[in-house]
Chains A and B, each alone.
Chain A
Amino acid sequence: MIREPLIFEISAEGKRAFEFPKLDVPEKKEPLNNLPLRKDIKGFPQVSEIEVVRHLTRLSQTNFCIDTTFYPLGSCTMKYNPKVNEKVAQLQSFLFSHPYAPQDLIQGNLEILKSAEEFLCEITGMDALTLQPAAGAHGELVGMMLVHACLKDRGNPRKVVLIPDSAHGTNPSSAHICGYRVQEIKSNEKGTIDLAGLDRQMTEDVAALMITNPNTLGVFESDILKIAEIVHAKGGLLYMDGANLNALVGKFRPGDMGVDIIHLNLHKTFSTPHGGGGPGAGPVGVKKYLGPYLPIPVVEKGPAGYIFNSNRPKSIGRVRSFYGNFLVLIKALAYILSLGAEGLKEIAEIAVLNSNYLRKSLEDVYYLKYSAPTLHECVFSDKFQKENGVQNIDIAKRLVDYGLHPPTMSFPLIVPGALMVEPTETESKRDLDAFIEAMRKIAQEARETPEIVKSAPQASYVRRLDETSAARNPVLRWDGDIEK
């Protein structure tokens, strides 16, 4: 395979890949005289168009992605991204729309925002919703700010947020950035929230409980109504991380479970592509009493059409510039419109079917720490394979040799050596069977020829990378242009 150099290494004076139209206004010196100008952009590349095209095309070919490969990253909901949604988000009427354009000229955009908001409220069973957060963690932060604003209004914003030990790292981090102290809740032997423990920890110092449901083990918190009751009885709010909504969509609604605030990941449940790490969108839905606190601006329908309203005295304020990752919101709306109520329900049913089929087909060879029924994902571990010195990372890397993307590794933290598998609803039985076969083969290799597994991957563009030295001696940019 050709080793692709860095663009800077193929750069040379005199090459270019783009030309601007000739300047058509009279050139003058004066405007430049008062400006602090730079002489050069040291090291900046100069390449031809074909060099850019080959460089990026070759780099792209070293990626595994949904369009080519089964990609069962647990908790990431790597489902197929419908292509027509890309097309509608690229319509000129959206691409060329300026965020400060007069509101009567952008009624289409406002209608899209309003529709997406209403449909997501219906799907989650919430009463009001903001589309502004750019990603799930941004939504969590907004959610925590809503908790703070609401409780402050009631007289005391409180100090503590409770978070289960199985939660995503973003949960404690978001609560902390909002000024809250995080207190962990230990999971019980079923991997779920222990009611007696919660009852003890839930004091009048606690502002909110952040839960993920189903949780990161794929297990539904079946005591959810009692959990909500305990939290509400002490004047706290119940926040739900909607990362795993794929397991419930169309069949169960967080708003019917006592949840006060939920964030969604449109780049998970609603199929907008992950883009190698964003852009996503993390809308936040709330119960009616929290509506006044939502970030500004909000879209409202007035007598003369849709308008943005920023005059909301109780609002937490603005959380980003403009109105959200608009093109991502279009793709999610397109997805909802093409699936409808029946199609959304089918997502949950088949996602859970696929996941349980994988679980059943692998649970004799991979250890399942928790035996509770699971929904859209399940968490195996390397406990059996460790007897032969093979760890979860080895299993993950060996999957690469079989042309498959590994599951999420070493998360949740309550399962040592975790391998978290989420197949999603869009996979075929053929692809699921290929994954099962590869996983069983690897389990066999771990027993018989562990060295093969431990030295994987063999066939990839690069083999196992030294992450320790990358962190110890960080090289975070090309430094060929820096004098040493």
Chain B
Amino acid sequence: MSYISLSHEDKKKMLAAIGISSLEELFCCIPEEIRLKKNLNLPSPLAEPELVHYFEEIGKRNSDSGYLSFLGAGAYRHFIPYVVDYLSSRGEFISPYTPYQPEVSQGTLQVIFEYQTLICQLTEMDIANASLYEGASAAAEAVLMAHRLRGKPKILVAKTLHPQYKDVIRTYVKNLSIEVKEINYGESGAVDLDDLAGKIDAETSAVVCPSPNFMGIVENMDRIGELAHKYQTLFIVVVAEAASLGILKAPGACGADIVAGEGQSFGLPLSFGGPYLGFMACKKDFIRQFPGRIAGETKDVEGRRGFVLTLSTREQHIRREKATSNICTNQAWCALRATIFLETLGRPGMRELGYQNIQKANYALEKLSRVKGVKRRFGGPVFNEFVLEFADSWPNVQDFLRKNGVLGGLSLEPFFPELKNCALFCVTEVHKKDDIDRLVRLVGEVLR
């Protein structure tokens, strides 16, 4: 297929206008010795029907969507209102660039402004940016920001932060003078406050704490925030499951200085891990060190309200190496989907979403932990994920579930060697009672 719009005649006329006789002359400035002497070794081009067929066939080699899945761990299945797909597919949203020319990009800019407002309302923080890549790099950006603000060499990270987020933070700080230390979890699965109190000191730039954490436990964030602030340390709250924000106490109400997280739950399908949506919010005092694009309100020459990208003196295209981040292209279209999702669910919908997740996950947790040979691993309160410990070998249970069309939970031993025979289960509003009962029945059967 060719997407070129020039006719043979057009090409001739244009070459004549330029004053050359062949396309090759256009490349005369490139030394002959580096010219590719052959065609690229690529498959013969596919026509549209062949292309669709190719992807349909390759898609058939994925069979996970035929299973009843209880996998979560940073990627969650939630209902997506149909209007999200419908509206976000409009060419006016998919095919423009970053809104550098505000007069012809008000749609994109107003959506970003509304998105920033929605994130501020959900997190109860003062300002939010236009988006970052995804949750893990958003957490890493928050760490870099805290380090710029405080300049102290130490960062304390809860051991229960998503393992991939911890990895990414380590990758980002590896070549800088920043030391990352982990804070243990206690019996409840929440942060061990004594361990935190023992490790935090005046040399600590930030405490990074997830809630709900990787074990599904909702933290007592007020206590962590208080401890952090005693040492002028910044309190970074990481939210890997944003659906919790509609019902749980907001990070901003718990003393968070910076909130970073993953917004995939807001209208983005699982998509094998991307594109997702990094979000970030902070207190307004920190705005000069805040990374990423930001939309702001202003007026046009006739006094009408309009929106522009603003505070760009923080950014790479103005400040170059002194910028607060190197981010340029972010995840604007994913933020658009989140905006449509949040505006469609609205205040009652966001609460209901959180409520159903809590009820269903806890129903599953209660039923499963009553099965002989299954134990609830941690006592802390949960949102929509929980860890079970199996008396028998977990891999056997997992195999049996899989043979019966069920995926999950996620084996925890590869991430936490001390959690042998433990698995993380996720139950959201998309699971019917029958689905949960089926899981319970199967677990009962295999352990009988």
Contact = CB atoms under 8 A, between A and B. Distances in A.
Given A65-B95, A225-B33, A474-B310, A35 B121 contact: no
Interface residues of B, number: 205
B257 interface: no
Contacts of B308: 465, 467, 470
28 contacts: A17-B81, A31-B361, A32-B358, A42-B124, A44-B342, A60-B93, A66-B95, A82-B3, A93-B60, A93-B65, A94-B62, A97-B270, A99-B270, A112-B58, A134-B134, A138-B133, A148-B175, A170-B316, A225-B33, A225-B34, A256-B34, A275-B332, A277-B98, A277-B130, A318-B164, A322-B134, A322-B274, A470-B308
A473 B409 CA distance: 49
Nearest to A76: B97
B333 A275 contact: yes
Interface in B262-313: 262, 269-276, 287, 293-302, 304-308, 310-313
Interface stretch (B179-187, B199-207, B429-437): B429-437
Contacts of A465: 102-103, 298-300, 306-308
A316 to B, nearest CB: 6
A409 B355 CA distance: 49
B246 to A, nearest CB: 6
B156 to A, nearest CB: 20
Interface in A372-415: 372-373, 375, 396-397, 400, 405-406, 408-409, 411
B296 A137 contact: no
Interface in B432-448: 432-433, 436
Interface in B62-95: 62-65, 67, 69, 71, 73-75, 77, 79, 81, 83, 86-87, 89-95
B103 A318 contact: no
Closest 6 CB pairs of A and B: A322-B273, A275-B333, A93-B59, A340-B45, A67-B91, A277-B332
A353 interface: yes
Contact of A357 (B17, B89, B350): B17
Contact of B52 (A53, A88, A339): A88
A109 interface: yes
A23 B381 CA distance: 20
A417 interface: no
Given A8-B117, A38-B250, A134-B137, A344 B347 contact: no
A323 B273 CA distance: 6
B13 interface: yes
Contacts of B197: none
Nearest to B40: A341
B106 interface: yes
Contacts of B270: 95-99
Nearest to A224: B34
Contacts of B348: 16, 46
A317 B121 contact: no
Given A36-B218, A80-B3, A461 B103 contact: yes
The residue among A98, A334, A353 with the most chain B CB atoms within 10 A of its own CB is A98
B114 A53 contact: no
Contacts, number: 654
A29 B419 CA distance: 30
Interface string A343-376: 1111001101110110011000000000011010
A122 B42 CA distance: 8
A123 B269 CA distance: 31
Contacts of A321: 74, 134-137, 162, 164-165, 168, 262, 273, 276
Contacts of A188: none
Contacts of A339: 1-2, 45
Contact of B272 (A62, A99, A170, A428): A99
A65 B26 contact: no
The residue among B104, B270, B297 with the most chain A CB atoms within 10 A of its own CB is B104
Contacts of B336: 275-276
B372 interface: no
A416 to B, nearest CB: 16
Nearest to B298: A470
A455 to B, nearest CB: 8
Given A84-B48, A346-B4, A57 B330 contact: no
Contacts of A328: 274-275
Contacts of B363: 25-26, 28
A24 interface: yes
A465 B367 CA distance: 59
Contact of B127 (A66, A251, A316, A476): A476
A462 B326 CA distance: 30
A465 to B, nearest CB: 5
A173 interface: yes
Interface stretch (A175-183, A229-237, A283-291, A443-451): A175-183
Interface in A433-484: 455, 457, 460-467, 469-471, 474-478, 481
